[in-house]
Structure 1
């Protein structure tokens, strides 16, 4: 994972890792509704780490993007993928990367709907100070063994799976940024979600998920929840890894994280074990980030959670299931205004209010005069949903008093009002609210959020993190 640079826009990314043994059972097991997802062999994941360590040892002790250690790492991963039947491409980074940086490595499994791509990535370079076994040999190795496991299992595919190993991440997310920038808009639109894995074996780590309440994160959270891990939102890694490159173009993102240089809290140590007050990874960006700096239990749990997500998003999707990830696009408003329509000036990082997550939100009404503002987008509720629920976080801020509903907030699907709230429902912070969209399964419908005020005393309706889930 790269160090924190000044990054424009919302901060959002992934730091992957794990803590010492928490109260949950040490072994990994698939959740009950995805028995088809395989148990990824962690000994094979560690074998890839051994190879990356040996490569660093032969090349000055590191695998930095501009060195032979990185190029040899690319050759190792590429060789294994080609032997397994992947379509593999080396993509030179011709702009924005550090001079002399090696290529991105892109591997696609040649089955499934090419118009619905689920993408998984990890950066393959290390810092110059050391071999980078946790940062980010762990993510790279877990991803490689998942790719090989998918090829070995060779299931029928509903969607296309694409894996990527990024160059020059440690210098500023340069490889992934180049990749996404280079795609034509039609190609970007085919990527329905991107999952990032950066540091998934931190020795004093925690269990973190990027955008934990989003639809994209749902299969990842479901797996770790099934192990009793009580994962938390990843905050330390915000804007610091390759998922940020995809987020800037409105592609839904998530991923696992276990932490870098931030310190474990007492509450986290009580929940996950480990040492409170110490860094999640005491060898972050140091020469001691070697094979002894790997939490095998966390690596195992992350590897199996990746497989669970691959199966949920690309193998089982479309087989009567309910794949809701990405159905509501840019539900956190972090990628500008697209595809929202209507009063999109309400979307932004406005002073006077705060986001639920990230930095941007939609602030409807709040003027203290007669005003109505609406935003909307068209969504298609998957046909396989036996139950579909629209979740959103709403903060109602008002100068009104009493229980009379002077100012109102409504949620509509097409012309049907599904929820109405008012100044009488105001509170001190965000509240998660939900409406049932099950009746619209298999249909495309326009969702509209509206805030309206009367002539005096403001009420602002601050909306964030809109998503669809099954259940």
Structure 2
């Protein structure tokens, strides 16, 4: 972490056989089902329970950490940006993913005079217009091997990706995993990736899940509270095993999720704490030592393979797998899905504003940066009208101002609104006010397209 500054997925015979063997061996963890009703035009979607996620073997995750420690030992004691240990770490992760059937891409950038690298791995299949991402930063600080920060997140994401391959998982969404470079210099790698996406490609990412420091030796259990839908998946999983959680605040804005959040992409994630002190109440709730930092080796040379709590690492790895299987098999919301209100609403002459409402439910995350509001208002002098789109939280987006020179009839237009900071679900309203005398009209219909 940066220092302060559904439908049931398709399955082939091999996948079914693998799942059957895992079930017989007791390796499939229970996964709570969640269903939601989507209010939309067109036929209703069928719902099905998500496929249960496999248990992520802690031994496999620890094996990856041992390899990262060995790489650091052989390369000056660290895996920092611009150092040989970082590239060796990336090559290790890439080789594992290539062998498992992922399509990997190494993305190159420059920071602080050195070449940096991101590694992106795509699992074949799934809806390319609904991309679910999980990622972690792979670099350490120069002071040490960075096994908790952030070998722990990198290893958990890697082993979850390999579990996808072992299960021959065929999700409804397209899965993409990533390992970021130069996070410790200010999320440089993830910013480079996000900034390089077109607006269309950004809109395709339905959510990004970040793991940074998920094996702290005096752990807390913190869940990012940025996106309600992603937060709920993790909180429900932890509630299911009887472990309370708290909202993550120490690392807010200091890890790679911030790059995605700032671009309007829904984000979530897990964290076990860094340099802040565990309180007595937290020690009572989670165990461990009160009055001591969650990770006393944060950004220090002692952040080695012994600086890990296996229970926390195991739980967070399993929680990530649960999120990937649950969100990855959720019924995708078709791009361009529309919600419409065709009830007429009279607009009084030179009087108070009126509104027409559309209720949206069953969507994941925030509204898009290209939310389209199609308006059909019949009026004898359109220049009298002020038109706003009201988000569920009451935020107003001006669609049209009044103008004395705008003498045409009617307002029949489609407006594009950057509503990426707004939760998609809720009641949206079209607000129209006639601010001058002598002309009348009504809202004929209006439609939101996500």
Task: Give the TM-score, by structure 1 length.
Answer: 0.66
Question: Could you tell me how far apart the structure 1 residues matched to 2:125 and 2:372 are?
Answer: 32
Question: Could you tell me how far apart the structure 1 residues matched to 2:288 and 2:31 are?
Answer: 26
1:61 to 70, 77, 80: 77
Deviation at 1:266, TM superposition (A): 1.6
Deviation at 1:340, TM superposition (A): 9.5
Question: Aligned to 1:216, what secondary structure does the other structure show?
Answer: helix
Question: Could you tell me how far apart the structure 2 residues matched to 1:247 and 1:338 are?
Answer: 16
Question: Aligned to 1:292, what secondary structure does the other structure show?
Answer: coil
Question: Could you tell me how far apart the structure 2 residues matched to 1:77 and 1:44 are?
Answer: 13
Q: 2:259 corresponds to which residue?
A: 245
Where does 1:47-446 land on structure 2 (aligned, <5 Å)?
47-94=63-110, 97-211=111-225, 214-318=228-332, 324-326=363-365, 328-329=366-367, 339=371
Deviation at 1:329, TM superposition (A): 2.3
TM-superposition CA deviations, 1:1-33 (whole Å, max 9, x none): 01112xxxxxxxxxxxxxxxxxxxxx9954343
Q: 2:2 corresponds to which residue?
A: 2
Structural RMSD (CA)? 3.1
- The question of whether the paired residues in 2 share the 8 Å contact of 1:30 and 1:223 is answered with no
Question: Could you tell me how far apart the structure 2 residues matched to 1:340 and 1:280 are?
Answer: 45
Question: Could you tell me how far apart the structure 2 residues matched to 1:188 and 1:213 are?
Answer: 16
Larger radius of gyration: 2
Question: Could you tell me how far apart the structure 2 residues matched to 1:91 and 1:222 are?
Answer: 35
The 1:173–1:213 alpha-carbon spacing in structure 2 relative to 1, beyond 3 Å, is closer
Where does 1:21-40 land on structure 2 (aligned, <5 Å)?
29-33=29-33, 36-40=52-56
1:43 to 59, 67, 72: 59
Deviation at 1:52, TM superposition (A): 0.3
TM-superposition CA deviations, 1:265-315 (whole Å, max 9, x none): 121111101111211111000000011100110111111111111111113
- The question of whether the paired residues in 2 share the 8 Å contact of 1:28 and 1:227 is answered with no
Question: Could you tell me how far apart the structure 2 residues matched to 1:36 and 1:28 are?
Answer: 6
TM-superposition CA deviations, 1:120-140 (whole Å, max 9, x none): 010000000000000000000
Deviation at 1:378, TM superposition (A): 11
Q: 2:411 corresponds to which residue?
A: none
- The question of whether the paired residues in 1 share the 8 Å contact of 2:51 and 2:326 is answered with no
Question: Could you tell me how far apart the structure 2 residues matched to 1:301 and 1:307 are?
Answer: 10
Q: What is the total number of aligned residue pairs between the two structures? A: 336
Unpaired segments of 5 or more residues in structure 2?
6-26, 34-49, 334-360, 374-386, 397-415, 432-445
Question: Aligned to 1:102, what secondary structure does the other structure show?
Answer: strand
Question: Could you tell me how far apart the structure 2 residues matched to 1:58 and 1:28 are?
Answer: 37
- The question of whether the paired residues in 1 share the 8 Å contact of 2:29 and 2:54 is answered with no
Deviation at 1:70, TM superposition (A): 0.2
- Give the 4+ runs in structure 1 shifted more than 4 A: 337-344, 361-364, 376-379, 411-415, 444-447
Question: Could you tell me how far apart the structure 1 residues matched to 2:303 and 2:184 are?
Answer: 15
- The question of whether the paired residues in 1 share the 8 Å contact of 2:370 and 2:418 is answered with no
Question: Could you tell me how far apart the structure 2 residues matched to 1:179 and 1:70 are?
Answer: 18
Deviation at 1:363, TM superposition (A): 6.5
Task: Give the TM-score, by structure 2 length.
Answer: 0.69
